Structure 1
């Protein structure tokens, strides 16, 4: 697929990426054509061949999202190997576990910080013969070499055997292992998910087929003229899906994984589409809310009115209609006052955003949709190669994750668990045959672990099977939906963790959004207080309580949050409360804050 894309697109721009100025000036964006990409990948692939990488040999990548990550991944695959992905935020023992369990013989690491992790864990990785640093120099004993050195060795081999690269590519088969991705491990040790070339061929073809179906109906998904802004972690299966879709369709991708540069990059890249985790959309929404509040009472009233207009328009569009009459006029006024500025933030060319990896608040999705920014929420897991369900342009139902991709089947088990079957489903877990048999039936159905319902063909995920709460009164509570709804009600909160399993009622742990609460504190004469002090500030609690009260108004009695505690710090990956893909580790959080949770039930004779 890669070489076919090079043959078809040749001198067209494949990638753009930021490059720092050597003299400390502003960074610039450079371009790589498909042919230039092929040449770089060829040299790196032959360099890996010279290191002994053969068919399906694992090579790890521990790096943030950058152009070198993509080049390394393509080189591994073209050499016949398989990529093992490691989040750059992973702790040294976790890196060693993944390298050892996967049997990786070569590791690409981002910089000196990552090199230090691997050097410290070297005795635990006896099978790792070479480390290649993407942004740095080699080590003294030769165990660490630079990316340039690897490419130099490959170029030398290409000069000796010009035909070797194409021979290596031709030897790769659809059933060969392509990617070994370790799940985030919200409970227990991460499991290596084995995805072969056929999985990615299916995913990319499904995206193309979906685009062809929509085009025949007068709608559009993606074309070779589109520009993707790719910041997603490439260690995550969602990011990998965006990679292979590009190979199939041929659009240009701007690559930069620095989250703190997203807003600035949007103005430079001006993408026509991008994928995003809901947390990014929440932050954009919260920033818009805060800016409106900073403008004073009148400005905030205008914003709230415009948000109401957006919601009504979005609900009409969900039903296949467009606003008319008074609502159409109101929408034009709201567009001039609010929505136009929001679209400009995204570069003014955005056709749609794809949201995945965690639930998106329906209220936030409708706000963007009514403001002229289409959000297509999708669903998938590492075990299904990410792309499994997607809302379509012109057929969006917020609160659902859309329809199956072409070629994927779905059914709901008797207990409500979502089962899927199709070309994206993994072949199994690495070194865990028992776990594979537990998740996969003989006829290919994969048990997702998610509870869901089908509504007119659209799938709505209600919660994780293992995270459903059953109160001591026998009532079931799905915490994810409550937590997602709350984020649209309180822009100053980072996370809400609902708790109540085998308890008489639900309580919650609350964390604040550092940036948003700092702005709030400044506006309310509390600018001198730091995060822990603000967590104990009565006015902050009062503000959160108002949002909790509003949340409870729309919930059945057994789902309402009776009490809450604001935690003195954020939930972090480093602290073990979040996965690298920013999902909450619910059990770890509950264990860490067990005393806090217990204190919210003190004095209640029904507490178990």
Structure 2
């Protein structure tokens, strides 16, 4: 353990130790109304969390009560989270953008005793049968509604004045007490709750810090992902243990504009974020004059050669080294300036990231390290390391995990971070196998160096009527390489060949998109014929690298985005493939009928909505 790292067996005890060790060091940076960054010390964080804890206890919060927080990412979320843990309560993070059905299911399964919301309007997402069980409601912003019944309070009332006496406050939580209930993403059905103890959360932080010794008191981290996402909360707790400072970005749209001023050492994200960054940079390049574009292409090609040599642990050739120094000085350093001057690496999780995109960032001079975890194991199962990584893999196992491959190719994991069953769900069988391992639901391979390559979710891989097994994630990744394809979903279980639904970003193709002409018998926006020609060409180019049996035979294209509210995406932006299939079932069935008529011997079938 590093001298600057504090230890403890509960989350609040980590903060208490940190406030004692480095009381005046900066814990948080938040922007004021003028957009200026303002610091909060560790002592101020600890004292405010205790004031809020006292306020919550006055509202009636007791040990092991489950309390929901449904709000946007902010420092206040962090204060409330810590205050509840100090009080011994169990925190349930709820994404405000999740569907009302999922939110209701989460509230019911976790048996919420109280709720903290961003503003009173979010209460509309809860049914009366749920809200009647709340002992209190706290709003972070906005006034308490005049028509409100029951016990209401605000964050400002809880935190009280700066002189509020916190001498009566104390940590009520014990190491074996429950700390949080996390819900599965619900990609294949109803979300299921997983309960973790204080000790297990601390164990996860310890495992991460033992893996990444780059996180020190001099590090700057960024909190921008939804705090309903447990991994973002764990990273924030890692900051407490290590003494790193955390910058809070409340609006995800502000992340890229703010990075250059923050100068983070590392940043966590999801694949869609990195795809958006790539799309944004590529779009800017296309606006440049021809000679400038050619210079950028040259710089990226030189960067790719240099990066490839690094990955193979070889010394680049003399000419490559000279050219790379020039390309980096003139072009590449400017292209990556948006991340600041101190970035060591990105970490990507939640879903697989295409190898081509990892290589593109590496050519730019930015390493993106893929990590892998499941809701049912609080310790991330595997991560690539800054100085030991392989693109296309999720890295090697983290301390605290023991993994093996089952006979059918499924990855199994065992360790103290593995859960012991879904919360308040008597229908679920005991999750562990006879040998004590947990089945992850992912097919995988482990190479001789211990690197894990994921092959697809068991629940997602389907067989066509010809007996071909298809993992849709890899096909969808290929389709999303097209600049104007926002999202993709692939289907074909029991069919002769797979098909896909593509969500097209109209913002990305102003040259092709036009409104007014009906298409496919539907009035509304239409696609210019030039776009359809370009789409067919782009699709054929991208799927050419796939085995013939994996190439979609037909495509449904829509300008409707896949969203959390629409049910196509989970709160952490995973694809709800079944929901997409149900939504476009009529069009998919019609497309299959049309293709059967033509015996699919001709070109790719495209149906425009």
Indicate whether 1:13 and 2:26 are aligned.
yes
1:147 match: 155
2:6 match: none
Matches within 5 A, 1:140-539: 140=146, 141=149, 143-152=151-160, 158=165, 162=167, 164-166=168-170, 169=171, 171-212=172-213, 221-385=214-378, 387-435=380-428, 437=430, 439-441=431-433, 444-455=436-447, 456-487=449-480, 489-515=481-507, 517=508, 520-521=509-510, 524=511, 536-539=527-530
1:500 CA drift (Å): 1.9
Report if the CA contact (8 A) 1:534-1:540 is conserved: no
1:29 CA drift (Å): 2.0
Distance 1:113 1:442, change over 3 A: farther
> How many angstroms apart in 1 are the aligned matches of 2:485 and 2:333?
26
TM-score, normalising length from structure 1? 0.90
> How many angstroms apart in 1 are the aligned matches of 2:103 and 2:162?
27
Distance 1:92 1:476, change over 3 A: closer
1:215 match: none
> How many angstroms apart in 2 are the aligned matches of 1:394 and 1:536?
47
> How many angstroms apart in 1 are the aligned matches of 2:303 and 2:69?
43
Report if the CA contact (8 A) 1:531-1:569 is conserved: no
Which one of the candidate residues 564, 567, 573 is aligned to 1:573? 564
2:536 match: 545
1:116 CA drift (Å): 4.4
1:35 CA drift (Å): 0.2
Distance 1:327 1:485, change over 3 A: farther
Which one of the candidate residues 66, 69, 94 is aligned to 2:74? 66
Report if the CA contact (8 A) 1:311-1:363 is conserved: no
Report if the CA contact (8 A) 1:483-1:496 is conserved: yes
Indicate whether 1:106 and 2:114 are aligned.
yes
1:216 match: none
> How many angstroms apart in 2 are the aligned matches of 1:356 and 1:567?
27
1:304 CA drift (Å): 3.3
Indicate whether 1:47 and 2:47 are aligned.
no
Indicate whether 1:136 and 2:149 are aligned.
no
Report if the CA contact (8 A) 2:120-2:145 is conserved: no
Greater mean alpha carbon deviation, residues 262-271 or residues 580-589: 262-271
Report if the CA contact (8 A) 2:515-2:525 is conserved: no
2:607 match: none
2:39 match: 31
1:460 CA drift (Å): 1.0
1:115 CA drift (Å): 4.2
Distance 1:305 1:529, change over 3 A: farther
Report if the CA contact (8 A) 2:220-2:247 is conserved: yes
Q: Which runs of 4+ in 1 moved over 4 A?
A: 153-156, 525-535
> How many angstroms apart in 2 are the aligned matches of 1:508 and 1:186?
18
Structure 2 residue runs of 5 or longer lacking an equivalent are: 1-13, 601-609
Distance 1:291 1:46, change over 3 A: same
1:581 CA drift (Å): 0.9
Indicate whether 1:89 and 2:126 are aligned.
no
Total equivalences in the alignment: 578
TM-score, normalising length from structure 2? 0.89
Report if the CA contact (8 A) 1:99-1:125 is conserved: no
1:403 CA drift (Å): 0.7
> How many angstroms apart in 2 are the aligned matches of 1:495 and 1:430?
33
Structure 1 residue runs of 5 or longer lacking an equivalent are: 21-25, 213-220
1:153 CA drift (Å): 9.6
Superposed CA RMSD in Å reads: 2.4
Report if the CA contact (8 A) 1:59-1:106 is conserved: yes
